[in-house]
Chains A and B, each alone.
Chain A
Amino acid sequence: MKKHVSVRISRRGFVAGTTALATSSLGFPSISGAQAAPVKVGMIHPVTGFVAYNGQQSRLGGTMAVEDVNKAGGIKSMGGVKLEALLGDSQSKVEVGVSEVEKMNEQGVAAYIGCFQSPVGIAASQAAAKYNTPFLIDVGASDLIVNRGLKNVFRLKPGFGVCVDDGIASLGALNKAANNVAKTAVIVHESGEFGTGTAKLLASKLPSIGITAKELIAHDNPTRNFDNIALRIRSLAPDIVMMSNYGNEYMLLARTLFQQKVNVAGFYSILGGGFNYKFVKDMPDVSQYMMDVNHWFNPKSAKAQELKKRVEAMGAFFTFEVYLTYSNVMLLADALEHAGSADKEKLTAALAASTYKADLLPYGPTKFVNGQNQGGRPAVMQSLKGDIEVIAPEEFASAKAVFPKPKFG
Chain B
Amino acid sequence: MLDPAFLLAGVLNGLLAGGIYVLVAVGLTLIYGVLHIINFAHGSLLMLAMYAVFWLWRLVGIDPYAALPLVIAGSFAFGFVLYRLLIGRYNHGRDENILLITLGLSIVFDNAALLFFGGNTQTIDVPYAGTFVELGAAFLPLPKIISFVASLILCAALALYMALSDTGKAIRAVAKERQGARLVGIDVETVFAVSYGIGIACLGAAACLLMPTYYVTPSSGHAFVLVAFTIVVLGGMGSFVGAAVGGLVIGVTESLGGLFLGEQLGQIGISLIFILILLLKPTGLFGSKA
Contacts and interface: CB of A to CB of B under 8 A. Distances in A.
Interface of A: 11-12, 14-15, 47-56, 191, 217-220, 222-225, 227-229, 231-232, 234-235, 247-248, 251-252, 255, 258-261, 274, 278, 282-283, 285-286, 408
18 contacts: A11-B116, A15-B115, A52-B217, A56-B119, A191-B264, A219-B263, A223-B263, A224-B227, A227-B17, A228-B10, A228-B255, A228-B258, A228-B266, A231-B9, A231-B138, A259-B213, A260-B141, A282-B125
Contacts of A225: 13, 17, 254-255
A286 B115 CA distance: 29
Contacts of A12: 115-116, 118
Interface in B257-283: 258-259, 262-264, 266-267
B61 to A, nearest CB: 15
Nearest to B118: A11
A224 B223 contact: yes
Given A12-B116, A15-B118, A220 B267 contact: yes
B118 A248 contact: no
A255 B219 contact: no
A250 to B, nearest CB: 9
A321 to B, nearest CB: 11
Given A228-B13, A258-B130, A259-B141, A283 B263 contact: no
A229 B248 CA distance: 19
Interface of A is mostly: helix
A380 to B, nearest CB: 23
Nearest to A226: B263
Given A11-B120, A14-B118, A229 B263 contact: yes
A408 B263 CA distance: 25
Contacts of B141: 259-260
Contact of B214 (A56, A235, A247, A252): A252
Given A56-B118, A222-B219, 10 more contacts: A49-B219, A52-B218, A217-B262, A220-B267, A228-B10, A231-B10, A231-B13, A231-B259, A235-B6, A259-B213
Contacts of B118: 11-12, 14-15, 53, 56
Contacts of A259: 129-130, 132, 139, 141, 143, 213
Contacts of A283: 123, 125
Which of A49, A52, A229, A286 has the most C-beta atoms of chain B within 10 angstroms of its own C-beta?
A52
Contacts of A286: 125, 129
Contact of B130 (A218, A227, A285): A285
Q: What are the 7 A-B residue pairs with the smallest beta carbon separation, nearest first? A: A52-B119, A11-B118, A228-B258, A53-B119, A227-B13, A259-B141, A219-B263
Contacts of A52: 114, 119, 217-219
Interface of B: 2-3, 6, 9-10, 13, 16-17, 110-111, 114-121, 123, 125, 129-130, 132, 137-139, 141, 143, 213-215, 217-220, 223-224, 227, 254-255, 258-259, 262-264, 266-267
Nearest to B129: A259
A231 B117 CA distance: 34
B6 A231 contact: yes
B225 to A, nearest CB: 11
A379 to B, nearest CB: 23
Nearest to B257: A228
Nearest to B142: A259
Nearest to B13: A227
B10 to A, nearest CB: 6
Nearest to A12: B116
Contacts of A278: 120-121
Nearest to B256: A228
Given A248-B217, A251-B121, A232 B259 contact: yes
B263 A53 contact: no
A252 B215 contact: yes
Contact of B215 (A15, A227, A248): A248
Given A56-B118, A259-B141, A261-B139, A224 B17 contact: yes
